[in-house]
Amino acid sequence: MMKISLVRAARNPEASRTLPSLPFEKDGMDIARSTISRWPGYAPSPIRDLSDLAAELDLGKIYFKDESVRFGLGSFKPLGGAFAVSRALSRYLSAETGEAEPDLASPQMKARVVNLTVTAATDGNHGRSVAWGARMFGCRCVIFVCSSVTRQRKDAIASYGAEIREVDGSFDDAVRLAAKTAKDEGWFVIPDTSDGETVEAPRDVTQGYMLLVDEALDQLRDEPPITHLFLQAGVGGMASASAARFWQAYGAERPITTIVEPEQCACWYESLVAGEPVAVTGDIDSAMAGLSCGEVSLIAWPVLRTGADFMMTLSDDAVPVMMRYLAGKGQDARPVIAGETGISGLAGLVAAAQDETLRKELGLGPDSRVFVVNSEGDTDPEAYKTIVGKSASEVLEQ
C-alpha cells in the first residue's frame, strides 16, 4: 500500500452547518447549466468508483469525478473561464443590441466581438480555458502567465490563438497585472479570483464550476448521500463551488468538508485559522501548480469561512506517489489519468485516512462515502510522462 504523509491539519473554528447567504446569483446555476450544456462536445464528466483504494483504506466508497476528459482540455476549468467569457460578452452584446439573450454563435454577434479582447492571469489551466472560450466566441485573448508556468502549458494556451505575456513573478502578481492592463486598454478581465473589487467575472467562474457537482448529484441520485468531501484549493474557486452546491442540496446534513493545500501555499489554512483572509508570501511554487496561490479569493471566502470543517496540507512528495498509483491497474480495472494538481484532493484523503488522529476526528471509516475531484489529467504531457514513466495514452493502452 502506498503511503502519503500529512504535514499538518486543523479544525476550522468557524465551521457551521447553517447555509450562509451565498455570493451567487439566484439563477446562476441554471444559466451555467443551460449555457455550457449547449457547447459542442459537452458531456457530464464521468465518476470513477475507486473501489480498490476504498478497500485498502477501509472506507465505504470513493467517488472520483474525473475532469481529465472535460471538453478535451484536460481539466474542469472550461466550466469557469470559458463560461465567464461567454457571460462577459453576452452582457456587452445585450447592452449594445438590446437583445436579452444574444446568440454568441451567430455570425452577427461574432462580427460584433471580433475586435474585443478578453484577458486573464493564470498558473496554467484557467488561461487555457479563457483562451479556448475566446476562440469559440471569436474575440481576441491575451493571457498573463506567471513565471512557474511550463513551456508545454504556455504552448497549450497559445494553440487557441491567445497572445501570451510573461510575468516575472507569482500568480498573484500576474492577477494584478492583468487587471491593471485591462483597465488601461479597455479589455474584459476574467479573473478566477476576486480581490473584492472585481466580482462579476469570478462569480461567473464559480457558478460555472458548480456544474461539476450539479452533474454529480444527478449521477449519484440513486446512491446514499456523500459523507465527506476532500477539495483541493488554490484561490478556492473550485472548492467553494463544490462545497456550496452540496450544501444547497443537502442543507445541514452537508458532507464533512476538508480543504487540501500544498504546505508552502496554504493560504486557506492560514486564513481559516486566523478567521480572516491572510496572504502567504515567499516561495509559494508547488508541484501542484494549480494550487500555487498565496491569496484566497474573496468570493470563495464567505462560502468556505463556515463551509470548510477541516484544513490540511501535503508536501509535494505526494504528487508522484498518487499519480503513479492512479496510472496503475485496479481502479474499475482501468487506470485514471490524473495530473500534478488533479491528484491533490485524493492525496489529501489518503493522508487523512492513514493518519490515526485525523481519521478519527473526521469520522472516516467503512461507512464513509467520499467525493473527490480529479481536477486535471495530463495537462502538461511532458511532466506527466516524466513523473509516471509513460504517456497518458501508453497508460490507457496498458
Ligand X SMILES: Cc1ncc(COP(=O)(O)O)c(C=O)c1O
The correct pick among 12, 257, 313, 375 for binding ligand X (CB under 6 A) is 375
CB-based contacts of 312, cutoff 8 Å, min separation 6: 6, 7, 8, 9, 10, 258, 259, 260, 261, 269, 348, 351, 352, 358
Tell whether residue 123 is a contact of ligand X (CB under 6 A): yes
77 is catalytic: yes
Phi, psi at residue 115, to the nearest 5°? -100, 5
Instruction: Report yes or no: 67 and 338 within 8 Å, Cβ to Cβ.
Output: no
Tell whether residue 81 is a contact of ligand X (CB under 6 A): no
The correct pick among 134, 190, 226, 238 for binding ligand X (CB under 6 A) is 238
Instruction: Report yes or no: 127 and 178 within 8 Å, Cβ to Cβ.
Output: no
DSSP conformation letters of 263-298: GGG-HHHHHHHHTS-----S----SSGGG--SS--T
Q: How far is the CB of 343 from ligand X (least distance, A)?
A: 10
The correct pick among 125, 148, 258, 264 for binding ligand X (CB under 6 A) is 125
Q: Which residue is nearest to ligand X (CB)?
A: 290
Q: How far is the CB of 219 from ligand X (least distance, A)?
A: 20
Residue of 61, 65, 66, 123 marked catalytic: 123
Tell whether residue 119 is a contact of ligand X (CB under 6 A): no
Distance CA 238, CA 124 (A): 15
- Residue 116 vs 175, nearer CB to ligand X: 175
- Size of the residue set binding ligand X (CB under 6 A): 22
Tell whether residue 235 is a contact of ligand X (CB under 6 A): yes
For the chain, the 3-state helix, strand and coil shares in percent, each to the nearest 5, are 45, 15, 40
Instruction: Report yes or no: 395 and 372 within 8 Å, Cβ to Cβ.
Output: no
Q: Fill in the per-residue mask, 291 to 330: x = in contact with ligand X (CB under 6 A), - = not in contact.
A: x-x-------------------------------------
Q: How far is the CB of 184 from ligand X (least distance, A)?
A: 25
Residue of 66, 77, 154, 285 marked catalytic: 77
Cβ-count burial 107-137 (b if 16+ within 10 Å, e if not): eebeebbeebbbbbbbbbbbbbbbbbbbbbb
61 is catalytic: no
Q: How far is the CB of 241 from ligand X (least distance, A)?
A: 8
Q: How far is the CB of 156 from ligand X (least distance, A)?
A: 12
DSSP class of 376 = B
Interface positions with ligand X (CB under 6 A): 75, 77, 123-126, 192, 232-239, 290-291, 293, 341-342, 375-376
Catalytic (active-site) positions: 77, 123
